Structure 1
Amino acid sequence: MKKIYVIGLGSGNPDHMTIQAIKALNKVDVIFLVDKGAAAGELIDVREEICRRFIEKPGYRVVRAQNPTRDARSEDYKRGVDDWHRARADVFASLIRDELKSSECGAFLVWGDPALYDSTIRILRHVQDRKAVTFDYEVIPGISSVQALAAAHKIPLNDIGEAVHITTGRKLARGDAVNAESVVVMLDGENSFRSAAAKDLEIYWGAYLGMPDETIISGPVEEVADRIEAVRQTLREKKGWIMDIYLLKQADA
């Protein structure tokens, strides 16, 4: 039977690769690289560098595919994402069907950890549900940007005996986790941390964690919000894309 590995790569530093991930890479016959366009070409470059550095098995192949574009204008956010996932499932199904022989292994290389705000596992389930191609898959965890953020700022995520809430910028702006002691915010394209400026919170922000352009800023939200927004905009314009994350904590914690 065909087999797929979903391999967590860490947040951009090849040194984040675990021994388990390296072993999985060396079982693979085909690496699938789903290209998100020129703006995020650096993400593909890092994946290719990881393969060159760690794969010792000769003869593996790299197959590229174009990632479908999500309609960000959809008024129904979840439906829009679900439609996008189904379009991606079409691409994944074609790759597995056409590029893998019956006894071969393929791999999708996932930024961070496959279980946290990544759609690869969900898409593979869509493909299996269609029963158009038969395969098994295995998930290899990776160091997430959440862990990399805490390490970069040299802080623990949680207060003693307290929980950590992980959410999105969209939900934070709607009041999600308003009473949480520690909130990790991902996928925030609208600088939603500004909604916390009047709540006496500290922010620990990081962009391109684990990569050469890693940038971190911390301090009271009301004091550093303008700086974060300006730096974020400058970095986005310079590189054509940005990947950032932040932690909000009570100032007296």
Structure 2
Amino acid sequence: MRKIHVIGIGAGDPEQLTLQAVRALRGTDVFFLLDKGEVKNDLTQLRRDILDAHLPEGSYRLVEARDPDRDRKAGGASYSPAVEDWRSARAGIYERLITDELGEDGTGAFLVWGDPSLYDSTLGILEEVLARGAVEFAYDVVPGISSVSALVARHRTGLNRVARPVQITTGRRLAEGFPDGVDDVVVMLDAHQAFRQYADQDIDIYWGAYIGTSDEILASGPIGEAGPRIERLRAEARERKGWIMDTYLLRRHPGEA
């Protein structure tokens, strides 16, 4: 039977792969990669750099396919259906890649940024491919160092405080309000810098973009002070590269509500 590795490759630093991930890389016949277009060529090259760092030169086979476009303007009630449509389109591509490019007893792999369990669609898409019944395969999951772990390591802080919870959410959710009962909140997928609405509160921000790569940018401090600088850094970086991947931790001081 065909076998698929879903390998968490961390936030971009080839040295942050686990030994389990490297072993999975070395046991793979073909790597599948979705090309996100010319603007995000850096993401493709980073994957190649990771493979080159851990595999003999020219020893691996890489098969690329064009990533389907997603309606990123969809909001409100139309957001979830738009995401589901995009995932189904991806499932069709995965199905074709596995069927056409992988032998019946071969091993393929998808290289997933960060950790496959955290705000990534690969596992759900593979389950959809299996449910369609056109191709059979077994798959396993290799955990990776997420951008969340890498962020707090670079800022030399922890995710939570003693006996207190931490919540991971999205910019879309943060814009609806600071989570109840939580003082430490990690925010991902925030295209609109929702932290700005909390600039008048006693909250610190620990922010990072392109974490683990040569383009890494870090900033921290009270939102009221660090926020404008983060907005400027983010805008400059997005203009320079054409895309940005960032995340941040918000830490509310005792007494704020």
Q: Is TM more than 0.5 here?
A: yes
1:174-217 per-position Cα deviation (integer Å, ceiling 9, x unaligned): 11514411000000000100122222100000001011111111
1:75-94 to structure 2, matched below 5 A, reads 75=75, 76-94=78-96
For structure 1, the residue ranges without an aligned partner over 5 or more in a row are: none
Shift of 1:135: 0.5
Residue matched to 1:150: 152
Residue 230 of structure 1, aligned match among 228, 232, 244 = 232
Q: Distance in 2 between matches of 1:216 and 1:57?
A: 33
Residue matched to 2:4: 4
Q: Please, what TM-score do these two structures have when normalized by structure 1?
A: 0.97
Q: Distance in 2 between matches of 1:250 and 1:74?
A: 31
Q: Distance in 1 between matches of 2:130 and 2:144?
A: 23
- Given that 1:164 and 1:184 are in contact with CA atoms closer than 8 Å, whether structure 2 keeps it comes out as yes
1:109-188 to structure 2, matched below 5 A, reads 109-188=111-190
- Given that 1:12 and 1:46 are in contact with CA atoms closer than 8 Å, whether structure 2 keeps it comes out as yes
Shift of 1:154: 0.4
- Given that 1:26 and 1:57 are in contact with CA atoms closer than 8 Å, whether structure 2 keeps it comes out as no
- Given that 2:183 and 2:253 are in contact with CA atoms closer than 8 Å, whether structure 1 keeps it comes out as no
Residue matched to 1:64: 64
Q: Distance in 1 between matches of 2:199 and 2:60?
A: 51
Shift of 1:49: 1.3
Kindly tell me: are residues 250 and 227 of structure 1, through their superposed partners in 2, closer, same or farther at Cα, counting changes over 3 Å? same
Count of aligned pairs: 253
Kindly tell me: are residues 37 and 58 of structure 1, through their superposed partners in 2, closer, same or farther at Cα, counting changes over 3 Å? closer
Shift of 1:60: 3.1
Q: Distance in 1 between matches of 2:210 and 2:52?
A: 21
- Given that 2:11 and 2:113 are in contact with CA atoms closer than 8 Å, whether structure 1 keeps it comes out as yes
Q: Which letter maps to 1:86?
A: S
Q: Which letter maps to 1:158?
A: N
Shift of 1:59: 4.7
Q: Please, what TM-score do these two structures have when normalized by structure 2?
A: 0.95
Q: Which letter maps to 1:50?
A: I
Q: Distance in 1 between matches of 2:11 and 2:186?
A: 16
Shift of 1:33: 1.1
Shift of 1:252: 5.1
1:22-65 per-position Cα deviation (integer Å, ceiling 9, x unaligned): 00001100011111111111111011111122124975311001
- Given that 1:9 and 1:110 are in contact with CA atoms closer than 8 Å, whether structure 2 keeps it comes out as yes
1:128-173 per-position Cα deviation (integer Å, ceiling 9, x unaligned): 1101110111000000000000011000110001111000000000
For structure 2, the residue ranges without an aligned partner over 5 or more in a row are: none
What is the RMSD of the two structures over their aligned residues, measured on CA atoms?
1.4
Query: % of aligned pairs identical?
Result: 49
Residue matched to 1:41: 41
Q: Which letter maps to 2:3?
A: K
Moved over 6 A (4+): none
Shift of 1:73: 2.7
Q: Distance in 2 between matches of 1:221 and 1:44?
A: 33
What SS class does the counterpart of residue 238 from structure 1 fall into?
helix
- Given that 1:29 and 1:59 are in contact with CA atoms closer than 8 Å, whether structure 2 keeps it comes out as no
Kindly tell me: are residues 7 and 179 of structure 1, through their superposed partners in 2, closer, same or farther at Cα, counting changes over 3 Å? same
